[in-house]
């Protein structure tokens, strides 16, 4: 028997995969080598495996609004072919700063003197520590010496930055007096007081924390890593959308309040509750921001123009109070329950399968842990997750007790048609 023809297998694959010919030939050649008896079938698996390894847009039916595995806050980036004035000053035609628009917008929104942007909040914390405390001590409450998902551990970041961690207080109670003692100790050379929002866990019971306002009474600069990037916990952008500010917002530490309370610098992520692109923001006192900007690490951590443009547009939405219609995370979070129920009914009518179910969406990304938003979706019999992931635009669902749930709060209404196609393809 002749070995199967690589070319014939690749041409067969082209009927079901829109991948470059060279990729299909590669899949076919490996299949012929590994399984000559079933080369076409194995080549098919190889091609599926390859296409599922590609980055692609997906429909998030999990109900986790900021899904870490799906890149947290969804956001459309510009698809213009044109360059931007990233480091070009349109006023005088000379070289400009890539941070000027962001600094101006954060200045107005947060009442800060200056702001810069790096690739993520881990980088922001690292840069602040390296620029302001290298070779010196940083005081952190034992209750805030935390690990945030994805391997961000305060002691490790501290060590990498070249700053030394000085633990203050105890795991459950840390008082102002503990920080004072650390500053006064002749053993220490405290450069900063670092407050870290424990984001994805909470300590309950006999607890006491020191607030930013209390720390601001001491003479050492206070840096607050607030994490989620909630701009303001009075959430003025919700007016006209929700009657009350939900408790998951009211209880999150927010940038504007942290600055008003006296933090000298704050750091936060761009792609959590801010609803923007992946980035990290350092905002606050101009002299401290300038020290961070001048540090050699800044060159390694600076974001690209696509990120800055997307962030700028998000901040303009906050200024315009169009957050709930323009920023996908906030649209999802504020969609009325009745609208979701109506969409579920429409999906069921269009596919002839599924059951309309009440669900609870999660905020996700370690923000507002434990808080849920009432939601609605559809359920399907059996575990359909793998089949839904194989759809041309993969649909990511959840399965509990052999029932598959698609939560519509995390799905853009325009994508209901994709869910209809995906569910129809299960039949
Ligand atoms: C999420 C988070 C981080 C890490 O931010 P990334 O943007 O993922 O790097 C750091 N600190 C706090 C408090 C956080 O919540």
227 lines ligand 1 (CB under 6 A): yes
Ligand 1 nearest-atom number relative to CA 124: 9
CA 365 to centroid of ligand 1, rounded, Å: 9
225 lines ligand 1 (CB under 6 A): yes
425 phi and psi angles, rounded to 5 deg: -75, -10
- Same domain (yes/no): 309, 367: no
pLDDT of residue 1: 64
Q: What is the CATH number of the domain that holds 144?
A: 3.40.640.10
Closest CA to 125 of 103, 110, 105, 144: 144
161 lines ligand 1 (CB under 6 A): no
Asked whether residue 338 is assigned to any structural domain, the reply reads yes
CA 274 to centroid of ligand 1, rounded, Å: 12
- Same domain (yes/no): 275, 360: no
Domain's final residue, options 323, 341, 372: 323
- Same domain (yes/no): 227, 151: yes
Q: What is the CATH number of the domain that holds 406?
A: 3.90.1150.180
178 lines ligand 1 (CB under 6 A): no
Domain's final residue, options 303, 323, 343: 323
Ligand 1 nearest-atom number relative to CA 365: 1
Asked whether residue 88 is assigned to any structural domain, the reply reads no
- Same domain (yes/no): 185, 136: yes
CA 87 to centroid of ligand 1, rounded, Å: 27
Asked whether residue 234 is assigned to any structural domain, the reply reads yes
Structural domain boundaries enclosing 14: 6-53
Asked whether residue 65 is assigned to any structural domain, the reply reads yes
- Residue 390's pLDDT band, with cuts at 50, 70 and 90, is very high
194 lines ligand 1 (CB under 6 A): no
Ligand 1 nearest-atom number relative to CA 150: 8
pLDDT tens, 42-93? 999 999 999 999 999 999 999 999 999 999 999 988 778 898 999 999 999 9
- What CA–CA distance (Å, rounded) separates 66 from 69? 9
Asked whether residue 85 is assigned to any structural domain, the reply reads no
152 lines ligand 1 (CB under 6 A): yes
CA 7 to centroid of ligand 1, rounded, Å: 49
Does position 202 have pLDDT exceeding 90, yes or no? no
- Same domain (yes/no): 318, 338: no
pLDDT tens, 74-87? 998 877 889 899 99
196 lines ligand 1 (CB under 6 A): yes
Q: Across the chain, what does the average pLDDT equal?
A: 95
Residue 389 CB: number of other CB atoms within 10 A?
A: 14
- Same domain (yes/no): 32, 158: no
- Same domain (yes/no): 110, 68: no
- What CA–CA distance (Å, rounded) separates 201 from 227? 13
Asked whether residue 90 is assigned to any structural domain, the reply reads no
Asked whether residue 371 is assigned to any structural domain, the reply reads yes
Rounded mean pLDDT, 330-340: 97
Residue 106 CB: number of other CB atoms within 10 A?
A: 28
pLDDT tens, 274-300? 999 999 999 999 999 999 999 999 999
CA 405 to centroid of ligand 1, rounded, Å: 29
Ligand 1 nearest-atom number relative to CA 367: 15
Total of domains in the chain = 3
- What CA–CA distance (Å, rounded) separates 237 from 323? 6
* In contact, 339 and 46? CB cutoff 8 Å: no
Asked whether residue 397 is assigned to any structural domain, the reply reads yes
Give how far the C-alpha of residue 215 lies from the chain's centroid of Cα atoms, to the nearest Å.
28
Ligand 1 nearest-atom number relative to CA 199: 15
Which among 144, 148, 252, 268 is the best mutation to test ligand 1's pocket, defined by most ligand atoms within 8 Å of the CB? 148
pLDDT tens, 203-236? 888 888 999 999 999 999 999 999 999 999 999 9
- Same domain (yes/no): 136, 264: yes
**Based on the number of CB atoms within 10 Å of its own CB, is 107 exposed (0-12), middle (13-18) or buried (19 or more)?**
middle
The structure tokens listed for 91 are: 């006023």
10 lines ligand 1 (CB under 6 A): no
Which amino acid residue places its CA nearest to atom 2 of ligand 1?
A: 227
- Same domain (yes/no): 186, 274: yes
CA 239 to centroid of ligand 1, rounded, Å: 28
Which among 123, 140, 199, 201 is the best mutation to test ligand 1's pocket, defined by most ligand atoms within 8 Å of the CB? 199
CA 423 to centroid of ligand 1, rounded, Å: 36
- Same domain (yes/no): 297, 365: no
- Same domain (yes/no): 141, 224: yes
- Same domain (yes/no): 224, 356: no
């Amino acid at each position: 028997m002749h070995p199967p023809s690589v070319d014939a297998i690749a041409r067969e694959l082209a009927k079901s995969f829109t991948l470059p010919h060279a990729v299909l030939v590669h899949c076919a050649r490996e299949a012929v080598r590994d399984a000559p008896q079933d080369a076409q079938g194995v080549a098919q698996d190889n091609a599926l495996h390859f296409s599922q390894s590609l980055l692609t847009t997906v429909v998030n039916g999990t109900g986790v609004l900021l899904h870490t595995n799906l890149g947290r806050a969804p956001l459309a980036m510009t698809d213009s072919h044109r360059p931007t004035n990233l480091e070009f000053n349109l006023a005088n035609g000379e070289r400009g700063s890539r941070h000027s628009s962001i600094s101006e917008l954060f200045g107005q929104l947060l009442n800060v003197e200056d702001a810069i942007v790096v690739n993520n909040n881990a980088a922001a914390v690292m840069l602040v520590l390296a620029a302001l405390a290298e070779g010196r001590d940083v005081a952190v409450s034992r209750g805030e010496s935390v690990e945030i998902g994805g391997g961000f551990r305060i002691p490790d970041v501290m060590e990498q930055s070249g700053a030394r961690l000085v633990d203050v207080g105890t795991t459950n109670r840390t008082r102002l007096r503990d920080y004072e003692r650390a500053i006064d100790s002749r053993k220490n050379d405290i450069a900063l007081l670092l407050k870290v929002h424990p984001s994805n866990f909470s300590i309950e019971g006999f607890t006491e924390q020191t607030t930013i306002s209390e720390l601001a009474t001491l003479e050492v600069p206070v840096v607050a890593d607030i994490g989620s990037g909630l701009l303001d916990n009075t959430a003025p952008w919700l007016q006209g959308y929700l009657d009350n500010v939900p408790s998951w917002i009211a209880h999150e530490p927010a940038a504007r309040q942290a600055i008003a309370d006296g933090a000298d610098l704050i750091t936060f992520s761009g792609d959590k509750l801010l609803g923007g692109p992946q980035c990290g923001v350092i905002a606050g006192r101009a002299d401290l921001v300038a020290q961070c900007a001048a540090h050699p690490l800044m060159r390694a951590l600076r974001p690209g123009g696509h990120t800055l443009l997307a962030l700028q547009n998000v901040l303009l939405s906050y200024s315009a109070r169009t957050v709930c219609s323009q920023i996908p995370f906030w649209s999802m979070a504020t969609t009325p329950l009745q609208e979701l129920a109506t969409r579920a009914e429409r999906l069921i009518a269009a596919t002839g399968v599924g059951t309309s179910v009440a669900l609870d969406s999660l905020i996700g990304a370690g923000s507002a842990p434990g808080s849920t938003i009432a939601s609605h979706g559809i359920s399907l019999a059996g575990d359909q997750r793998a089949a839904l992931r194989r759809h041309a635009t993969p649909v990511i669902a959840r399965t509990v007790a052999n029932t598959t749930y698609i939560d519509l709060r995390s799905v853009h209404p325009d994508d209901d048609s994709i869910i209809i196609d995906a569910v129809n393809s299960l039949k």
